[in-house]
A and B are shown apart, each in its own frame.
Chain A
Amino acid sequence: MRIRRLFPYLRRHRRALAAGVVAVITGEFFTLLGPWFLRRSIDALQGRDIPAAREAALLMLAVTVVGGVGKFIMRRTMIGASRHIETELRQDFTAHALVLTPRWYDAHPVGEVMALATNDINAVRNLLGGGIMYMVQTIFTAIVAIVLMLRLSPPLTLIALAPLTVLGVVVQRGSRAVHARFSRVQESFGRLSALTQELLTGIRPIKAYAREDRAAARFDGRSGEYLQRNLSFVRIQSAMRPLVVFIAGTATVVTLFFGGRMAVAGSISVGTLVAFLAYLAQLTWPAMAMGFTINIWQRGLASLDRLGKVLDAKLEIEDHADATPWLDRRGHVVVHRLSFRYPSSSRPVLEDLSLELSAGSWTAVVGETGSGKTTLVRLLSRQWDGYEGEIEIDGIDLRRIRLADLHEGIGYAPQDGFLFNDTLRENILFGRSPADGDEEGELERLARVSRLERDRGAFPQGWDTLVGERGVTLSGGQKQRVSIARALAGDPTLLLLDDVFSSVDTETEAELLEQLRAAWSGRTVLLVTHRLLGVRQADRIVVLDGGRVVESGDHETLMRRNGVYASLFRQQAAAAELDAIQ
């Protein structure tokens, strides 16, 4: 049973839900007593009994008030509980989404996960709130009203209810059709948006080639398609409501006709007829709701299944059953015959790569785009699993090291230097927990090492300046330096810096390297870079090509070898010499 997934949540809110059910039953019962007293009042009037008529009227008010209180409690408890469950479900969903691996996201784009988080959680919420509440309400209203009507007149009850049963079926079928057409509208809307986005992003060539009219014609085409689908949608939508009102109305007509005859014949009183008409009015909504509710349930259950994609996804990267703590952190890394292929690609990125980083050493990794540098960093920081070969840190298999220890022991600066829409402080101290103490001191130290200190005056609120989405308010160089500072926070043993100097100028790079070398003394450093001049002093330079190590050694060794590195280095050095002349 698909709804089983919701049981833990429902159990947690069982009191509110139970109270809600009780409130629904009492509420509906008292509300439905209203027409009962209306009948009594009318019949008393017919008999010219003023006090009895007035008494019945007051009783009618009294039961409506009690019914109202019941409905008030019903809404608060049931709809309230649905919001609580929605919130818990979203929290669980996010908790899963945050631990799923890049491999999983490779097959599920962010847009898809966002759609699950918004549309599907919403559909489940509708099931929990509206779906359950209306179901209970409909069932009880129907039972109570029918019992009361049967007591008044069984034959009239059967006659009056016949059209209402048709109503439920019509609403259910109809709203399914409406929804199907609405999906087609949404689909078309997506296409229109995609085209608009593309044309607006490509405004330059459009203007440069004076193709505004053609672009507009393309837009018109999609807009026209969207219009057609909307028209097909509104046609059926406009028919639904009048149809429902009509069917509900026929119940009144047959009641008036047959009930009227019975009243003329004297088998029922005028008050009974009026009460019947009032009950029919009360039953119209539940009969419609029955139709809606079925669809709400169907949609909600389908969404619940889709949420399973995230909620049931296997955690590919988690602590090994016999995970080892990384206690004696020295930073000796051995990579042996490492091969790796991304699931979306047919060609391996790393092939049979072997590498050793001795504890406390500094290794520079160079090579062309696509040679596997970033992948190596990703595997070493265990963002991706599923490689062949071995990676060992301080003699322990990478996959056996406790993840918490691994994250603490490794400082990582990604290529894109992703920053969060938060303050500089929060971004720099990202990996630290508040329990680590002396925040200010650490912040100052990191700012010094990353050369952010000198930019501080330019930040309007100092370290409390918000950096904007992905750090848009910062320059590329500033973003990279924040990312470096973030990697250095805490006390990492192994530093993985992926192309972190690409956006800083040469002077800053030299200063940074000098500061960093002091800061990282005793740590093992792996630095991916394109600029060879800065890394001459590295203990070792590894040149990657096509996922293999093609050259490796210190600067002198590689120069003597006169291979790829030497030729690249000479090219860059010549440029620097030209610079020195002027």
Chain B
Amino acid sequence: MRSISDELPLGEEELKEHRDLDWSLLRRLLSYLKPYRLRVAAAGILLVAVSALSVAGPFLVKMAIDRSLHGDGPLEQRLALLTSIAALYLAALLLTALFSFLQGLLLQEAGQRVMNDLRRELFRHVLAQDMAFFDREPVGRLMTRLTSDVEALNELFTSGVVTITMDLLTLLAIMSMMLWMDWRLALISFAVIPALFALSMVFRRRLRRAFRRVRLRVARINAFLQEHLSGLAVIQAFGQQERRLQRFGRLNDEHMQAHLETIAAFSIFFPAVEILSTCAVVLLLWAGSTMVATAAVSLGTLVAFVQYAQRFYRPISDLSEKFNILQGSMAAGERLFQLLDRQPTIFSPPDPVRIDRAEGRIEFDDVHFSYDGSNEVLRGVGFSVEAGERVALVGATGAGKTTIISLLTRFYEPTAGRILVDGVDLRRWDLRRLREQVAVVLQDPRLFSGSLEENLSLWREDFDPARLEEAIQRIGLQRLMEKLPHSDHSLGEGGERLSTGERQLVAFARALAHDPPILVLDEATASVDTATELRIQRAIEILLKGRTSLVIAHRLSTVRSVDRILVLHHGRLVEEGSHRELLARPDGIYRRLVEAQLRRNGTMRSDDGERTDPGKGTP
């Protein structure tokens, strides 16, 4: 059964494949089996038993022919023998079915559980990474790691390693049995093995290339369709359906060609294997005929050998297909473990300072910062904010305002300098505690599917419902509840059932419910209707009350209302004072900024520069 996942578009880098078995990778994978080692051990024993049982059939046929059909005892005895042989055969079948069922079940279950463990570990590991990691890794790629790569590892384990072991064991069992029964006939049967292996090797190599090409072209087709369905309005407005279709036709054809290659390979391989195995049978009959005639071997032995020779080729031809699965999975495993080996650079100290609730004093002491290690975004910023003080951050795009908020919640680490909350260096705070002190409301807040309450408490079950209720009341979200489905109050995926303004209000309520001593607000610039705008203004007022607040301001009304304004310019703090004081400076940067922002009135969007730094909208 083909899963959907191999039809999904992948980046070129995802299509790279591993050249051969990587033992260190396998060892690491096996370490995940430890909690299930008893089951796996049982499965291993069953596996050996099944392989051993696989030789029973032809041997019983030999017994039947030599002892019962050709035997020289009395008729009843021969018939009785035949009955017991048939009974033995049935028993062997039953045992094989039972054992391989149990073996499959134990192993598949273990595989599924290991995947679950691995997924959970991986997800926790990803969540623990610092923001710099999320800046670099697109969500799509992380999704691939967490889903299809984990599945690929399971495939590596359950259908790869296990079936290969099984095939090899079966091969070994058959070969040993043949050697034990008659070494001369055994050697004759083995004569085709080198040819069979050579054929498999050639086939494998050809198929590997062809499969890679197929995957790449499937990805291309899907990417094309996805893109063209998304941009259909443009195609239709320009009347380009025909020409785009022609282009699709080329990709479609290439895709078919790639498949035809694999068909060509398979159509030669399967019959060739069949012919080779018949060759072994013919060799046996040819050489065996004189041996049977001279009674050097019994007829039954020869028949058993013919049957063994026919069973011989299946594991070998399976092997070549299995190796192809392995290669894809190995690459997936490597990517997974690479991710697991990445350690977050920001974590709690072993002996954090114990503070339950901060008063809310903030100090930046000669802070330098760079996202990429070369371009400094902050160049020696120093300021302090008293507990309960309201401060606005103002500056042009790229001045470093957003960076300051991100550093305050320790999303990133300063490259030099210190940041203190309540006089304690952020690096000495327990990370969790620190973040409980600061609530950040960004321009375009992220909401989650699920109820309003869940979005406010962020899934904490022990959250005081009274506090939730109060936050909803004070921000005025009661009306919102009526809009939501009555069954679950779900906001829809990413809060899609709400408007931009409503989403902001929900984010305010979330911050209010958490009641932190420090509040960081990035004022939104997006346009909302006047009624919502008023509600937002009111909500901000409620939210800021009694907290130390840092606001990235875009509205004149906001900068007028704060105690102090910090003006940033190219990563430096250049001016500081109240709105009135700063405007009074004839050549002040603040004054120029206010004017420039006023000029852009009416445009809500702006040239999307490098980093999504807000503060480039309208006042």
Contact = CB atoms under 8 A, between A and B. Distances in A.
A564 B435 CA distance: 46
Q: Which of B112, B128, B223, B307 has the most CB of A within 10 A?
A: B112
B252 A91 contact: yes
Contact of A264 (B78, B281, B446): B78
B608 A475 contact: yes
A13 to B, nearest CB: 13
A212 interface: yes
Q: Which of A94, A220, A277, A532 has the most CB of B within 10 A?
A: A94
B86 A253 contact: yes
Contact of B147 (A119, A193, A264): A193
A239 B101 contact: yes
A475 B607 contact: yes
Given A76-B263, A186-B4, A230-B112, A579 B458 contact: no
Interface in A398-413: 403-404, 406-408, 410, 412
B578 interface: no
B600 A506 contact: yes
Contacts of B244: 98
A80 B143 contact: no
A60 B227 contact: no
A534 B131 CA distance: 41
A530 B602 contact: yes
Contacts of B245: 91, 94-95, 98
Contact of B237 (A192, A207, A252, A414): A414
Contacts of B270: 71, 75
Given A98-B244, A252-B89, A270 B69 contact: yes
Contacts of A239: 101, 105
Interface in B274-331: 274-275, 278-279, 281-282, 285-286, 288-290, 292-293, 299, 302-303, 306-307, 310
A281 interface: yes
A209 interface: yes
Contact of B97 (A207, A245, A421): A245
A283 to B, nearest CB: 14
A256 B85 contact: yes
A219 to B, nearest CB: 5
A214 B104 CA distance: 35
A118 B4 contact: yes
Contacts of A75: 263, 266-267, 270
Given A54-B285, A242-B104, A574-B598, A214 B458 contact: yes
Given A60-B281, A198-B448, A210-B435, A72 B268 contact: yes
B344 to A, nearest CB: 11
B293 A249 contact: no
Interface residues of B, number: 150
Given A110-B229, A211-B460, A575-B600, A206 B146 contact: no
A38 B285 CA distance: 9
B479 interface: no
Contact of B109 (A71, A99, A234, A403): A234
Contacts of A224: 116
Contact of A83 (B131, B256, B592): B256
Contacts of B89: 249, 252-253, 256
Contacts of B222: 114, 117-118
A227 B143 contact: no
Contact of B252 (A90, A253, A270): A90
Nearest to A238: B104
A521 interface: no
Nearest to B442: A204
B356 to A, nearest CB: 14
B497 interface: no
Interface string A371-402: 00000001001010000000000000000000
A65 B607 contact: no
Nearest to B146: A196
B78 to A, nearest CB: 6
Contacts of A367: none
Contact of A209 (B68, B263, B514, B601): B514
A531 interface: yes
A211 B445 CA distance: 16
Contacts of A368: 527
Contacts of A48: 292-293
A68 B86 contact: no
Interface in A535-555: none
A81 B120 CA distance: 45
B591 interface: yes
A91 B604 CA distance: 42
A38 B240 contact: no
A246 B271 contact: no
A86 interface: yes
A579 B598 contact: yes
A377 B545 CA distance: 46
B438 interface: yes
B272 to A, nearest CB: 7
Interface string B595-613: 1101111111111110000
Given A197-B143, A579-B599, A45 B289 contact: yes
B263 A80 contact: yes
A360 interface: no
B561 to A, nearest CB: 21
B354 interface: no
A196 B230 CA distance: 23
B36 interface: no
Contacts of A486: 238
A97 interface: yes
Contacts of B94: 246
B440 interface: yes
A85 B604 CA distance: 51
Contacts of B240: 430-431
Given A242-B100, A260-B64, A54 B286 contact: yes
Contacts of B486: none
Interface string B562-588: 000000000000000000000000000
A219 B307 contact: no
B61 interface: yes
B385 interface: no
A316 B278 CA distance: 62
Interface string B402-444: 0000000101000000000000000000011001101110100
Interface of B: 1-4, 7, 57, 60-61, 64-65, 68-70, 75, 78-79, 82-83, 85-86, 89-90, 93-94, 96-98, 100-101, 104-105, 108-109, 111-113, 115-116, 119-120, 123-124, 126-128, 131, 134, 139, 142-143, 146-147, 221-223, 225-241, 243-245, 248-249, 252-253, 255-256, 259-260, 263-264, 266-268, 270-272, 274-275, 278-279, 281-282, 285-286, 288-290, 292-293, 299, 302-303, 306-307, 310, 409, 411, 431-432, 435-436, 438-440, 442, 445-449, 458-460, 493-494, 510, 514, 527, 591-592, 594-596, 598-609
11 contacts: A38-B285, A60-B282, A99-B236, A105-B232, A209-B510, A210-B436, A212-B124, A253-B89, A257-B86, A264-B78, A274-B303
User: Nearest 10 CB-CB pairs, A to B?
Assistant: A407-B239, A68-B271, A75-B267, A238-B104, A234-B108, A575-B598, A57-B285, A257-B86, A246-B97, A579-B599
Given A75-B263, A202-B448, A256-B85, 17 more contacts: A48-B293, A50-B293, A57-B281, A65-B278, A75-B270, A80-B263, A113-B225, A196-B146, A200-B143, A204-B131, A204-B442, A208-B439, A237-B104, A238-B101, A383-B237, A418-B231, A530-B604
